[in-house]
């Protein structure tokens, strides 16, 4: 049985995407999680996160739709709560904060075992959005722009982040609001695309508009209460260490998306990952100037190059250890237990 939550009252700018849900069900049932491009339903991998696969189905009807798969839900109540938070999150980003996001929608289907039989009370959620030209995504653009243009693009991204934390600031100080809504954001460079730009001859100006791409993890709190279950995002970790990760790291990992300074540190550290470290010193100087001149009321302590480098080294080390443990978990699951490993393991990334 295929179910898809549809909200006919949503505004057209976040309207529904037409999709053949039987295709998603067949994709989930026949997915080769080790080599997804060899699955029965032909796909192209567009990207990946720590627990998710982003892909495009290669047929005429569904081309142009980027799909993120989240196979992490233990029951229907969980997936419906996530979809509810997802819809509310994108409304907040658009209507209350003023960010631009692609047209998008969600649906969920049962999760299946290796033999194609439905697993009781397990669901995979698919978050779908209009695909953007990958050449317009910021982490690709910085390799085509000169340093001056890269700094201008970074300045525009900072101002989008400031919209979020100015909203949070005003929400906290507004005594008339019964619901205190605080929004988190993953501001890394690959989550931004530039609108109305010539990808063959890209140029940034002060009026360039951005799209924010990563809405599949609804990061917002109402009166201090998280609107998603953070524990769900430990599902891709080996089962033997999930309790330890929850105890030691989960709160810290989630909290950092609500801390503007840490979000900016992560953004700057992306330039190490993108092999553009030569830009970092002047980028830090520019960001510190903006923090002091445009959002001084947020009282963000200046950045320094050493902490960015230390942050990146630590993040890189954790990522390598975590992915190696997941590969071991995948090997045990598929080779010894002869079961389907339900998560995609990305290839090794140059960092």
All domains in the chain, ordered by first residue: 21-130 (3.30.200), 134-336 (no CATH)
- The H-or-E segment that residue 246 falls in is helix 242-248
pLDDT surpassing 60 at residue 7: no
Cβ(292)–Cβ(201) under 8 Å?
no
The burial class, CB within 10 Å (0-12 / 13-18 / 19+), for 1 is exposed
Tokens of 340: 């389907």
Supply the pLDDT for residue 250. 79
193: nearest Cα among 263, 134, 143: 134
Supply the pLDDT for residue 241. 80
- Per the model's pLDDT, the better-predicted residue between 70 and 175 turns out to be 70
- Largest Cα separation within the chain, whole Å, is 60
- The H-or-E segment that residue 128 falls in is strand 118-130
Supply the pLDDT for residue 51. 66
Supply the pLDDT for residue 351. 61
pLDDT, average across residues 65-75? 90
- Ranked by mean pLDDT, the top range of 227-231, 232-236, 266-270 is 266-270
Within 10 angstroms of residue 247's Cβ, the number of other Cβ atoms is: 9
Question: CA-to-CA distance for 295 and 165, rounded, in angstroms?
Answer: 9
> Between the CA atoms of 347, 78, 108 and 36, what dihedral angle is there, to the nearest 10 degrees?
20
Question: CA-to-CA distance for 75 and 78, rounded, in angstroms?
Answer: 6
Question: CA-to-CA distance for 310 and 99, rounded, in angstroms?
Answer: 31
Name the average pLDDT for the chain: 88
pLDDT, average across residues 325-336? 86
Q: Is the pTM for the entire model greater than 0.75?
A: yes
Cα–Cα distances (Å) from 236 to 66, 154, 242, 329, in that order, read 21, 32, 9, 10
pLDDT surpassing 60 at residue 277: yes
149: nearest Cα among 285, 295, 283: 283
Supply the pLDDT for residue 61. 79
Length of the chain, in residues: 351
Supply the pLDDT for residue 87. 94
- pLDDT, tens digit (0-9, with 9 covering 90-100), for 123-172: 999 999 999 999 999 999 999 999 999 999 999 999 999 999 999 999 98
pLDDT band at 8; cut points 50, 70, 90: very low
Task: Give rounded-to-5 percent helix, strand, coil for the chain.
Answer: 45, 15, 35
Q: What residues contact residue 18 under an 8 Å CB cut-off, 6+ apart?
A: none
- The H-or-E segment that residue 183 falls in is strand 181-183
Tokens of 119: 């697993």
Cβ(216)–Cβ(52) under 8 Å?
yes
- Per the model's pLDDT, the better-predicted residue between 338 and 260 turns out to be 260
E-only strand ranges, 30-117: 43-48, 53-57, 65-73, 104-112
Among residues of the chain, what percentage have pLDDT more than 90?
Answer: 59
pLDDT, average across residues 59-84? 90
263: nearest Cα among 289, 291, 240: 291
């Amino acid at each position: 049985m295929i179910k898809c939550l549809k909200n006919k009252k949503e505004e057209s700018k976040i309207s529904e995407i037409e999709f053949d849900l039987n295709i998603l069900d067949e994709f989930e049932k026949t997915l080769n999680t080790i080599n997804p491009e060899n699955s029965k339903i032909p796909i192209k991998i567009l990207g990946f996160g720590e627990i998710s696969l982003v892909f495009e189905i290669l047929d005429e009807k569904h081309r142009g739709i980027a799909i993120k798969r989240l196979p992490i839900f233990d029951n229907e109540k969980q997936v419906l709560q996530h979809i509810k938070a997802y819809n509310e999150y994108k409304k907040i980003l658009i209507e209350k904060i003023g960010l631009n996001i692609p047209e998008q929608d969600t649906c969920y289907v049962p999760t299946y075992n290796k033999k194609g039989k439905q697993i009781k009370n397990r669901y995979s959620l698919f978050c779908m959005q209009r695909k953007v030209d990958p050449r317009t995504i910021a982490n690709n653009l910085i390799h085509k722009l000169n340093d001056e243009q890269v700094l201008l693009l970074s300045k525009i991204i900072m101002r989008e982040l400031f919209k979020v934390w100015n909203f949070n600031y005003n929400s906290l100080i507004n005594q008339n609001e019964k619901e205190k809504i605080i929004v988190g954001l993953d501001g890394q460079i690959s989550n931004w695309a530039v609108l109305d730009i010539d990808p063959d001859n890209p140029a940034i100006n002060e009026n360039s508009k951005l799209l924010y791409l990563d809405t599949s993890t609804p990061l917002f709190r109402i009166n201090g209460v998280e609107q998603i279950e953070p524990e769900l995002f430990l599902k891709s970790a080996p089962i033997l260490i999930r309790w330890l990760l929850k105890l030691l790291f989960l709160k810290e990992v989630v909290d950092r998306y609500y801390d503007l300074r840490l979000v900016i540190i992560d953004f700057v550290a992306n330039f190490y990952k993108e092999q553009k470290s030569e830009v970092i010193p002047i980028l830090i100087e520019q960001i510190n100037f903006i923090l002091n001149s445009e959002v001084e009321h947020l009282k963000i302590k200046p950045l320094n190059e050493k902490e960015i480098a230390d942050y990146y080294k630590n993040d890189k080390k954790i990522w390598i250890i975590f992915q190696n443990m997941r590969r071991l978990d995948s090997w045990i699951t598929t080779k010894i237990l002869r079961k389907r490993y339900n998560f995609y393991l990305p290839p090794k990334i140059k960092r």
